[in-house]
Amino acid sequence: MAAETGAWLADLEEKIRAAVERLTDLRKENQSLATRVQDLESQLAARRDPGAGEAAGKGSTAAASNAAAESAAWQEERRQVRAHVERLTTLLEDLLAETGEHP
């Protein structure tokens, strides 16, 4: 019986370690995506600057449109990653609460 409990706990511990590793990876990816979104938003703001004048022409408008679409796609991906991280964090917190352990 003790061996079964030990095996079950070892399995649970391994799953938690894997989840923590995944959370760490997702947080890094989230930070990377946040930085990328910020860069894209800065680029878009620079292209929208009225000081750029009309000389930039239609190519600039198309580039701004593409940057806006890319920014929207990154924001959606960031939202999805954040939702995954939040769900995993909640699961880990619930597991910790069930075991009575605290980080």
Contacts of 12 (CB under 8 A, 6+ apart): 95
Q: How many CB atoms lie within 10 A of CB 45?
A: 11
The predicted-structure confidence for 71-98, as pLDDT tens digits, reads as follows 888 888 888 888 887 888 888 877 777 7
Q: Is-contact 26 88, C-beta < 8 A?
A: yes
The predicted-structure confidence for 1-25, as pLDDT tens digits, reads as follows 667 777 888 888 888 888 888 888 9
The predicted-structure confidence for 51-74, as pLDDT tens digits, reads as follows 654 544 555 677 778 888 888 888
CA 54, distance to chain mean position in Å, is: 37
Q: Tell me the domain boundaries of the chain.
A: 2-99
